[in-house]
Amino acid sequence: MQFDYGVITQFMADMTLPFMRISGMFVAMIGLSANSISPTVRALLAIFLTLIIVPVIEPVPFDNLVGLGAFMEIILQLLIGIAMGFISMMVLNTFVLAGQIVAMQTGLGFASIVDPVNGINVPAVGQFYLILATLLFWAMDGHLSMIQMIVMSFDAFPIGDAWFTGEQMREIAHWGAWMFVSAVTLSLAPIVSLLIVNLAFGVMTKAAPQLNIFSIGFSIAQITGLLVIWITLDNFIVHFSAQWDRAQQFMCELLRICPG
Helix extents (H) in 140-165: 142-156
Single-letter amino acid code for the residue at 238 = V
Question: Which residue range is the domain that position 181 belongs to?
Answer: 5-255
Closest CA to 128 of 146, 108, 143: 108
- Is 37 part of a structural domain of the chain? yes
**What pLDDT does 114 receive?**
60
- Is 197 part of a structural domain of the chain? yes
- Is 260 part of a structural domain of the chain? no
- Is 101 part of a structural domain of the chain? yes
Predicted TM-score (pTM) of this structure: 0.79
**What pLDDT does 41 receive?**
84
Question: What is the C-alpha to C-alpha distance for residues 155 and 233, in angstroms, rounded to an integer?
Answer: 40
**Contact between residue 62 and residue 9 where contact means Cβ atoms under 8 Å apart:** yes
- Is 127 part of a structural domain of the chain? yes
Write the CA distances from 77 to 15, 145, 153, 156, 260, integer angstroms. Answer: 12, 19, 10, 13, 28
- Looking at the structure of the chain, the number of domains it has is 1
- Is 59 part of a structural domain of the chain? yes
- Is 27 part of a structural domain of the chain? yes
- Is 171 part of a structural domain of the chain? yes
Residue ranges, the chain, pLDDT below 50 = 259-260
Q: How far apart are the first and last CA of the chain?
A: 51
**What pLDDT does 260 receive?**
43
What are the start-end ranges of the E strands in the chain? 112-114, 121-123
